[in-house]
C-alpha cells in the first residue's frame, strides 16, 4: 500500500503541521505531505514546510477577484497534487463548497473545543474560559458543507479548565493535545479504520 498523500492547509504558526511532520519523520505516521497551502504569505507554517523540503503554495485574497476565485485556484492546486487526504491544521477561513465537495469524506480539521461546543469561531479557548466551562478540549472532525465545524466527529480529547485559566493558558494546554490527536486521526484514516454512518463515526479495531 502506498503512503498516504496529504495536503495541509495552514494560516499561521504551523505547530500542528510540525506535529505531522515530526510523526512522519520519526516513522510513526506512514504518510507524505505533497503540498502545504496557505491563505497568508510570510507565516511561520510556510517556513516550517520549507525547512523540511515540503512544497508550498500561497493563495492570498488580494491576488484574486474574489474569495471564491481564490478558493477555486486552491482547489485546483490540491486536486493536481493527487491527495488522499486534506488536513486543515490551523486554517482560519471558511472555504467554498466546491472545495469541500471535491474532497468529500477526505478533508479533516482540528478545532480547539469539544464540539459542538464553541463551534464556528476563532477564539474557542477564550470563549470557553469566559463561559465558565470546567472541561474543554479539542476535536478532529470531517469538514462538510453546512455549518462551520459541523461535520462528523472522528476523535476528541478533554482538557480541564482551571479557575485561574486565561484564553492563552488554556490554548497552550489544548494545543499539546492537538499535536497528538491530529496525527492519530490521520493514521486512522490511512489505515481505513474510520467508518462514517450519518453523523456518527466508529473506529474499527486494528488488524
Catalytic residue among 52, 111, 123, 179: 111
Would you say how long the chain is, in residues?
Answer: 207
Three cell numbers at 189? 484514516
Torsions phi, psi for 69 (to 5 deg): -60, -40
**H-helix segments, the chain:** 15-25, 44-51, 67-80, 97-102, 124-131, 167-190
Q: List the end-to-end C-alpha distance of the chain, in Å, as a whole number.
A: 15
Whole-number Å distance between alpha carbons of 163 and 72: 45
CA atoms within 13 A on the CB side of 72: 6
Catalytic site includes residue 111: yes
Helix (H/G/I), strand (E/B), else coil: 155: strand
| Site of grid cell 478533554 | 158
Helix (H/G/I), strand (E/B), else coil: 61: helix
Task: State the catalytic residues.
Answer: 111
Amino acid at each position: 500500500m502506498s503512503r498516504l498523500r496529504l495536503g495541509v492547509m495552514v494560516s499561521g504558526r504551523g505547530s500542528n503541521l510540525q506535529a505531522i511532520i515530526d510523526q512522519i519523520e520519526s516513522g510513526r505516521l506512514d504518510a507524505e505531505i505533497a503540498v502545504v497551502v496557505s491563505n497568508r504569505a510570510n507565516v511561520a507554517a510556510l517556513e516550517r514546510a520549507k525547512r523540511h523540503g515540503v512544497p508550498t503554495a500561497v493563495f492570498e485574497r488580494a491576488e484574486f477577484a474574489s474569495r471564491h476565485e481564490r478558493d477555486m485556484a486552491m482547489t485546483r492546486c490540491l486536486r493536481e497534487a493527487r491527495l488522499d487526504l486534506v488536513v486543515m491544521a490551523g486554517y482560519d477561513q471558511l472555504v467554498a463548497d466546491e472545495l469541500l465537495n471535491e474532497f468529500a469524506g477526505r478533508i479533516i480539521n482540528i478545532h480547539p473545543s469539544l464540539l459542538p461546543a464553541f463551534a464556528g469561531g476563532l477564539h474557542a479557548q477564550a470563549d470557553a474560559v469566559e463561559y465558565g466551562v470546567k472541561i474543554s478540549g479539542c476535536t478532529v472532525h470531517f469538514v462538510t458543507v453546512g455549518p462551520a465545524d459541523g461535520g462528523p466527529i472522528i476523535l476528541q480529547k478533554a482538557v480541564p479548565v482551571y479557575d485561574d485559566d486565561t484564553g492563552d493558558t488554556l490554548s497552550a494546554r489544548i494545543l499539546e493535545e492537538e499535536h497528538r490527536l491530529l496525527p492519530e486521526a490521520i493514521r486512522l484514516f490511512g489505515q481505513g479504520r474510520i467508518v462514517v454512518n450519518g453523523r456518527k463515526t466508529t473506529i474499527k479495531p486494528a488488524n
